[in-house]
Amino acid sequence: MNLYRSVDIKKLFLIGTSIISTKSVLLIIAYFFDELTYNRFNQAYYTASLLMLFGGLGFNLAITRIRLNRIFLAAAVIVNIIVAYTILNLFVESVNTITETLSLITYSIFAVLGSIYVFQLLFSGSYFRYVILTLTYSVLHLLLIPLINLYDVNLFMLLPMISAAWFLIGLPFYIKNDQSGSKPLINFYKIGFSAFIINSSIPFALVLDKFIVNRFFDLDIANAYTFAWGLTAPLFYIGNIVEKLLYSEKENYDHSLLKKGFLINIPLVVIYSLLALTVVNLFPSILPGSINSYQFLIIFPLMISGYTAYVIFHFPVNAYLFKIAETEKQTLVAFWFLLVTAIVFICCFVALKTAVVINYKSLLVMIWLYIFSLLIVKSYLLFKEDLDIGVETTPIEK
């Protein structure tokens, strides 16, 4: 059987286009904002991204398992985001005014609620509605460019309007669950927390480093690092496309699902990495004026090389975990993720306190140490039985 022939090309193209569109906005903005506006936008965006990670708390996957009253879900998201912002400010002194803080919280609330219901559409197989709403999200964010550049509208006034508009546009398309059979909120948190630990541990690290860079590094390094991530991030979009494609399969293929994911993922990831490196080195003039091209060309090859190796394995394994593996195994993975996260972050905290200089290289090394540790733990727990069976059934040479 040729596994490539089983791929729905139309579905792959539509899902891929929608996912890429959401983050391509970050690249486009770099070409239209000056370096100060670009940095200010990145500070706001990655602060909101941290709030959104903890605001969702795995609810996008929990809603595919059990029903919950929409009012209770909204209340839970609001509480999660407020708690997350409070904790964030215990570690990092806020540079935002009260108005800016309310803007970021409001933006995060509507964005999280919309993303939960939009993911539910994809998981149920309604991928066309998922695509339309995801593209709408991207288009609304692109409106920031003319509104800020031409009309000098305040960024923090626009952000909550954009996410609220997106949520309301999608409201008629969301799946209407039978509210009479909704489960207690505690059950929602139990399922969601396991999914959150597994699915948000990696995004947390990937958002945290941009948050740190844009808050504490020099402007040249911060903008170059963030734009380098903007060109590296499509690796994750490719992997995300493959993962969502596997999620949308109506039949479970067991181990062949994993094989199918690797066969699609590896060539796409490697081709993109080589193409991106070739283009920026041959045509550096295409880089935006808001970044230091010299710094970028030093940072980018290192960054994309490490993440290429990671993306090749992460997304097919993750799809297998949530599509095929039983809930008990997901809970076990979540427990070990929590343990590894605690250990790695304690080590990184000590390193940050004792190191003479913290630069983008040491920051990348700490992020890679963390995400590869989680990948190894997840893979071992998922396939431990297969390894044990393989050892037991291997003939012993006499």
264-280 per-position pLDDT tens digit: 999 999 999 999 999 99
Q: Could you read off the pLDDT of 109-125 as tens digits, one per residue?
A: 999 999 999 999 988 87
From CA 44, how far away is CA 54, in angstroms rounded? 16
CB 178 within 8 A of CB 67: yes
Contacts (Cβ under 8 Å, ≥6 apart) of 355: 362
Q: Tokens 């039978």 correspond to what residue?
A: 178
Sign of torsion over alpha carbons 48, 54, 58, 62: negative
Q: State the Cα angle at 15 between 334 and 240, rounded to 5°.
A: 30
| Domains in the chain: boundaries | 33-200
- Mean pLDDT, residues 246-250: 72
276 and 207 Cβ atoms separated by less than 8 Å: no
Q: Which of 305-332 are b and which e, b meaning 16 or more Cβ less than 10 Å from the residue's Cβ? A: ebbbebbbbbbbbbbbbbbbeeeebbbe
Residue 31 identity: Y
* Helical segments of 124-184, H only: 127-142, 144-149, 155-170
- CA 375 to CA 181: how far, in whole Å? 37
Q: Report pLDDT for 397.
A: 44
Residue that has been written with the tokens 């920031």 in this structure: 144
**3-class SS shares of the chain: helix, strand, coil, % to 5:** 85, 0, 15
Structure-token pair, residue 362: 């040491």
Q: What is the pLDDT of residues 190-221, one digit of tens each?
A: 878 877 888 788 888 999 899 989 988 999 99
Residue 133: pLDDT above 70? Answer: yes
Amino acid letter, 385: E
Cβ neighbors of 386 (< 8 A, separation 6 or more) are none
Angle among Cα 165, 168, 173 to the nearest 5 degrees reads 130
Query: Which of 157, 141, 170, 115 is closest to 22 using CA atoms?
Result: 141
CA distance 392 to 35: 60
pLDDT at 100: 95
d(CA 188, CA 76) in angstroms, rounded, equals 10
Query: 207 is written with which tokens?
Result: 């958002």
**How sure is the predictor about 94, in pLDDT bands with cuts at 50, 70 and 90?**
confident
pLDDT of residue 396: 44
φ/ψ (deg, to 5) at 283: -130, 65
- Tell me the H-state helices in the chain: 9-32, 35-56, 59-62, 70-91, 98-123, 127-142, 144-149, 155-170, 185-216, 219-232, 234-247, 255-282, 293-323, 327-354, 360-393
Q: How confident is the model at residue 63 (pLDDT cuts 50, 70, 90)?
A: confident
Residue 185 pLDDT exceeds 90: no
| Residue 177 clears pLDDT 70, i.e. is over it | no
- Of 376, 309, 366, 369, give the one whose Cα is nearest residue 336: 376
pTM of this prediction? 0.85
